[in-house]
Chain A
Amino acid sequence: MLKRILRTSAVVAVAATAGLTASAALAAKVAVITPYLAQPGTQFYVEAFQGVAAEKGWDVNVIDTQGDVAAVISRIEDMVTQNVDAIVINVDPAQVEAGLQVAADAGIPVFGMDAGANPLLVTNVTSNGYQMAAETSSYVADRIEGKGNVVMFIFDAFPPVQVRGVIARAVFGNYPDITILDQVTPDVSDGGIADSRAKMEAILAANPEPGSIAAVWAAWDQPALGALQAIEDAGRSDEGIVITGIDANPQARDEIAKGGNFEASVAQDFHGIGAATAEAVARVLGGDTIKQRVTYVPTKLITVANATE
């Protein structure tokens, strides 16, 4: 009797395992590998990616190596061993090229989710830095009606931020009556707010007449916040100095919502990036080829009208 039960359950177990294996073989296997899952932006990407993946019925394996970049290479190797259908990474591709090469040799497509462009990636899905800077610099130019002195906060040492400065200079340069008063590169070792504030205090002191500074354009939010603090502390918040940032971090959104000098920033669409990455994977799994090495997801201008959304 006992033997028979054992035998039956063994058969059932084998059948169940076989059934599981069969159903798993039908669903596309996709691995998402990142060292940064604990960061809010990354979580948004991954959630949106999983949302689309669930609709498509994919079997998604999200792997967090908790800051360990070499482990990303190891996990890519493991996923290649498992012969997954596609791999998505959210890490600087130049640092995991050893793994990307293994995947390329095995013919497994790898996608970047806000990772950086690399010839070994099918495509990298991200926001367009040129576009974000165009949004805020044209906002500034429009608000000051094409004339006045503008202070720029830039950071050319970091390529994704450098491109923003290029566009803002071009936009301001296109208005004959806009003068770029100063281009400041703040010290970012303490996060960027404190030093930007100190630099802005010096600029305010050098330009004491009301109206002598029409706007502050910052390539990201921290210098904009620092400039705002300097302007408020100097008692010059009623001069109508327009401040813009980029990234729309929570602190920036709070300030924009107050309706003060900090008027606009640009939000990256993290959900959009995750969903667009999944769509790119779907296209390739469906047999398409993707020509764009970088796939841009539209960004959104944040003003007092939508800062609290």
Chain B
Amino acid sequence: MRALPILRRFGTLIGFALIVAFLWWRLPDTFMTARNWLNITQQLSMLTVVAAGMTVVMVMNDFDLSVGSMASLAGIVAAMLFSLGYPIWAAVGVALLAGLAGGLFNGVLVGVIGILPFVATLATMTMFSGAAFIVSGGKTISGRVIPEAFGNFARQGLEIGPVTVPNLSMVAVAVVALVWVLLEQTTFGRRLYAIGGNLEAAHLSGVPVRRFKLIAFSLTGLSAALAGLLYASRVASANPTQGSGLMLNAIAAVFLGMTMSEEGEPRVLATVLGVLILGVLDNGLTQMNVDSYVRQILVGSIILVAVSVSALSRSRRS
């Protein structure tokens, strides 16, 4: 391998290693500890779940802007059902179904009616957000109506020897594993990549594109709802806007991940690395007392550098 292809494929990975090394150097006592890394995985669990779901639609060259609103809506739906006295399993189940239904709706708009995903999911983003406001009456639902066990889920974990692996982290790992199996190990996944590679060719070769889009968007909606529930559990409350920050970060994570694959297509494990880059920077730079706004500029710059390196080395090759 020559230097350029190595840089293209592993530039982002090398960048991540450099970031970790830098933070380890600046924070020798606190960064590279099991405790801090478990914290990071817990802090990133919601974003990981949304980004893994986002990867599924981005494999088909589509994307979903409504995931943040769906996350908020799912949290609100569950909290409202709690306040009406429904048990946790029922409230969580209905919230997940809402995610599935919302995703299916996106799928119908994009796959059946044929609206551009940007337009369709921009519209449903506002719709889901409005629905969250209507269901909640614009208020934050918190306090006694949220069952203690629901809030405790995010605070507890599995004790393995001296460390406690947070429940949230385990859920995120499980979701990533499921998406990995689906995308990398099944015919369904290979066909999704085929659609992403060449929609017409996939269609002509008999891939049921419409049905695939319905399923893919439904899964993205479901994962967004799950992330919203994790968020609600972590803050033991639900607010009609609380998931809104997840969408852009999830897309950013998938793009960061795409810089690492051979053909520039999204791979879920690469997405996880993208999520880790964003989260490790947040965690490390906070610990280094770097201003929150400077941190944002840095994160944006790193995305640009990663994508530029990837784009430049690819154009150089061709």
Question: Which residue on A lies nearest to B138, using beta carbons?
Answer: A189
Which residues of A line the B interface, CB within 8 A?
59, 61-71, 73-75, 77-79, 81-83, 92, 94-98, 101, 189
Pick the interface stretch among B85-93, B174-182, B234-242, B250-258. Answer: B234-242
| B241 partner residues in chain A, CB cutoff 8 A | 67
| A63 partner residues in chain B, CB cutoff 8 A | 286, 292
What is the predominant secondary structure among interface residues of chain A facing chain B? helix
Identify 9 new A-B residue pairs, CB closer than 8 A, beyond the known A71-B43, A92-B237.
A74-B39, A77-B43, A78-B286, A78-B287, A79-B287, A81-B33, A83-B30, A94-B236, A98-B235
Question: Which residue on B lies nearest to A61, using beta carbons?
Answer: B289
Q: A97 and B236: CB pair below 8 A? A: yes
Docked CA distance A245–B143 (Å): 29
| A62 partner residues in chain B, CB cutoff 8 A | 291-292
0 or 1 for each of B213-245: is its CB under 8 Å from A? (1 = yes): 000000000000000000100111101011011
Q: B155 and A98: CB pair below 8 A? A: yes
Contact of B234 among A73, A79, A92 (CB under 8 A): A73
Docked CA distance A280–B237 (Å): 28
Q: Is B313 an interface residue (CB 8 A)?
A: no
Docked CA distance A66–B30 (Å): 25
Q: A70 and B234: CB pair below 8 A? A: yes
| A68 partner residues in chain B, CB cutoff 8 A | 242, 245
Q: B46 and A70: CB pair below 8 A? A: yes
Of the four ranges (under 10, 10 to 19, 20 to 34, 35 or more), the interface on chain B belongs to: 35 or more
Nearest-Cβ distance from residue A38 to partner chain B, whole angstroms? 11
Which residues 117-159 in B have Cβ within 8 Å of A in the complex? 137-138, 140, 142-143, 151, 154-155
Contact of A70 among B35, B143, B231 (CB under 8 A): B231
Most buried by A among B33, B39, B155, B286: B286
Q: A81 and B287: CB pair below 8 A? A: yes
Q: B236 and A98: CB pair below 8 A? A: yes
Docked CA distance A92–B289 (Å): 23
Docked CA distance A153–B149 (Å): 38
Q: A92 and B140: CB pair below 8 A? A: yes
| B235 partner residues in chain A, CB cutoff 8 A | 69-70, 73, 95-96, 98
Nearest-Cβ distance from residue A31 to partner chain B, whole angstroms? 9
Could you list some 14 contacts between A and B, CB below 8 A?
A59-B289, A63-B286, A63-B292, A66-B292, A69-B239, A70-B231, A71-B245, A74-B39, A81-B30, A81-B39, A92-B237, A95-B142, A97-B236, A98-B151
Question: Which residue on B lies nearest to A60, using beta carbons?
Answer: B289
Q: Is B282 an interface residue (CB 8 A)?
A: yes
Contact of A95 among B36, B236, B244 (CB under 8 A): B236
Q: B292 and A78: CB pair below 8 A? A: no
Q: B154 and A94: CB pair below 8 A? A: no
Q: B30 and A67: CB pair below 8 A? A: no
Q: A81 and B237: CB pair below 8 A? A: no
Question: Which residue on A lies nearest to B232, using beta carbons?
Answer: A70
Question: Which residue on B lies nearest to A94, using beta carbons?
Answer: B142
| B242 partner residues in chain A, CB cutoff 8 A | 68-70
Q: A75 and B286: CB pair below 8 A? A: yes
Docked CA distance A277–B284 (Å): 27
Docked CA distance A213–B35 (Å): 65
Contact of A64 among B42, B43, B143, B293 (CB under 8 A): B293
Q: A78 and B154: CB pair below 8 A? A: no
Question: Which residue on B lies nearest to A59, using beta carbons?
Answer: B289
Nearest-Cβ distance from residue A14 to partner chain B, whole angstroms? 12
| B289 partner residues in chain A, CB cutoff 8 A | 59, 61
Q: Is B283 an interface residue (CB 8 A)?
A: yes
Contact of A94 among B143, B231, B282 (CB under 8 A): B143
| B282 partner residues in chain A, CB cutoff 8 A | 71, 74
Nearest-Cβ distance from residue B123 to partner chain A, whole angstroms? 23
Nearest-Cβ distance from residue B38 to partner chain A, whole angstroms? 10
Docked CA distance A59–B27 (Å): 17
Nearest-Cβ distance from residue B25 to partner chain A, whole angstroms? 10
Nearest-Cβ distance from residue B155 to partner chain A, whole angstroms? 5
Docked CA distance A73–B286 (Å): 13
Docked CA distance A71–B35 (Å): 18
Q: A94 and B36: CB pair below 8 A? A: no
| A79 partner residues in chain B, CB cutoff 8 A | 286-287
Docked CA distance A67–B46 (Å): 16
Nearest-Cβ distance from residue B139 to partner chain A, whole angstroms? 9
Question: Which residue on B lies nearest to A78, using beta carbons?
Answer: B286
9 A-B pairs with least C-beta separation: A74-B43, A95-B235, A78-B286, A61-B289, A95-B237, A64-B292, A77-B39, A68-B245, A81-B30
Nearest-Cβ distance from residue B148 to partner chain A, whole angstroms? 11
| A189 partner residues in chain B, CB cutoff 8 A | 137-138
Which residues 188-216 in B have Cβ within 8 Å of A in the complex? none
| A97 partner residues in chain B, CB cutoff 8 A | 151, 236
| B36 partner residues in chain A, CB cutoff 8 A | 81
Q: A101 and B237: CB pair below 8 A? A: no
Nearest-Cβ distance from residue A75 to partner chain B, whole angstroms? 6
Question: Which residue on B lies nearest to A74, using beta carbons?
Answer: B43
CB contact under 8 A between A82 and B138, given known A74-B282, A96-B235: no
Docked CA distance A141–B138 (Å): 35
CB contact under 8 A between A94 and B237, given known A64-B292, A77-B39: yes
Nearest-Cβ distance from residue B142 to partner chain A, whole angstroms? 5
| A82 partner residues in chain B, CB cutoff 8 A | 27, 30, 287
Question: Which residue on B lies nearest to A83, using beta carbons?
Answer: B30
Docked CA distance A92–B143 (Å): 10
Question: Which residue on A lies nearest to B284, using beta carbons?
Answer: A78
| B287 partner residues in chain A, CB cutoff 8 A | 78-79, 81-82
| A74 partner residues in chain B, CB cutoff 8 A | 39, 43, 282-283
Question: Which residue on A lies nearest to B292, using beta carbons?
Answer: A64
Q: A101 and B138: CB pair below 8 A? A: no
